[in-house]
Amino acid sequence: MITALSAAKAYADVQKVANVAGGMSGAGEASGVGGFADVLKSAMTDAVQASRKAESQMAAQVQGKAELVDVVTAISAAETSLETVMAVRDQVISAYQEIMRMPI
């Protein structure tokens, strides 16, 4: 389940990637700002990193080297990242289907 906090975090991550704070001129690649593919790549990279961190925390906890709260936090972060990626995927598929229904 996506919460308001996770949505705000995802929005902040997208802003950071797209350099919205620095200002966009609307020119996309010409202004040095990454495109949609860069945003998707960053989101996927973040999801993979969160998943790997959760796995390493679980392994460390099994060995007795990590606290349970750290494991739960890492798993929660990985789950939020995965849900964000799935939500973006669903929106992209929906947009594609809508485009395909448009008359030429």
| For range 34-50, the mean pLDDT | 86
Are 53 and 77 contacting, i.e. CB atoms less than 8 angstroms apart? yes
pLDDT for res 27: 46
What band does 35 get if pLDDT is binned at 50, 70 and 90? confident
pLDDT attached to residue 104: 80
Distances (CA, A) of 25 to 2, 14, 38: 31, 17, 17
In order, the DSSP letters of 29-63 are GGGT---HHHHHHHHHHHHHHHHHHHHHHHHHHHT
**pLDDT per position as a tens digit, 49-66:** 999 999 999 999 999 999
- Please give the pLDDT value at position 3: 62
How far is the C-alpha of 39 from the C-alpha of 82, rounded, in Å? 15
Return mean pLDDT, the chain: 80
Output 17 or 46, whichever has higher pLDDT: 46
Q: What is the pTM of this model?
A: 0.62
